[in-house]
Chain A
Amino acid sequence: DVKVTQSSRYLVKRTGEKVFLECVQDMDHENMFWYRQDPGLGLRLIYFSYDVKMKEKGDIPEGYSVSREKKERFSLILESASTNQTSMYLCASSNSRGNTIYFGEGSWLTVV
């Protein structure tokens, strides 16, 4: 069965901390995504990657960076966490044919 695994389900971090959210997929997908989901705002694309070491900005990249050193792993980095980054973060992957996007279970991040 296809699987996208997010390493942390719930995190609490302090303002200014560096935060890593890790995501691994086991489907050999080319594309990987990080979304942020907030009430009333739906899913907003932060970054996506279409190949190893390749990345493109989504709609809200400010305050975030990403890393894709291996095909199966896509990391989201908050260099200096702020309270307005408190949110649910969803990782996803898809193949290059764009038929289906598979999501992880989400990571709830609270920045205090």
Chain B
Amino acid sequence: SQQGEEDPQALSIQEGENATMNCSYKTSINNLQWYRQNSGRGLVHLILIRSNEREKHSGRLRVTLDTSKKSSSLLITASRAADTASYFCATPLYNFNKFYFGSGTKLNVKP
């Protein structure tokens, strides 16, 4: 499989704490993306990091990429109850005609 794999599978934290989730992938990539899915809904794009970037920020989100280890991490700072969702990493393959997703990290932020 070409899928990315997220770790941990589930994470439970208190509001205000930081949440870190990791993604490992198998093949060379052009970019890696993180998505969020609220329960029972579609996925929503959060952030994209290109293979020549090491770190990227967007609001309370910080993404890092280590291409030598084929891994990425997503950090959500000062988490809120509204951040409760599943988070997926995705890697487009070939000529961007395919996206592969991992199984996701289920984040629960307790108020």
Contact = CB atoms under 8 A, between A and B. Distances in A.
Contacts, number: 70
A106 B45 CA distance: 15
B98 A42 contact: no
A49 to B, nearest CB: 9
Interface in B28-51: 30-31, 33, 35, 40-45, 48
Given A103-B44, A104-B42, A40 B96 contact: no
Contacts of B44: 103
A48 B45 contact: no
B104 A98 contact: no
A89 B41 CA distance: 10
Interface residues of A, number: 31
Contacts of A43: 43, 88, 101
A97 to B, nearest CB: 6
B12 interface: no
Contacts of B45: 100-102
A45 B35 CA distance: 16
Interface of B: 1, 3, 30-31, 33, 35, 40-45, 48, 88, 90, 92, 95-104
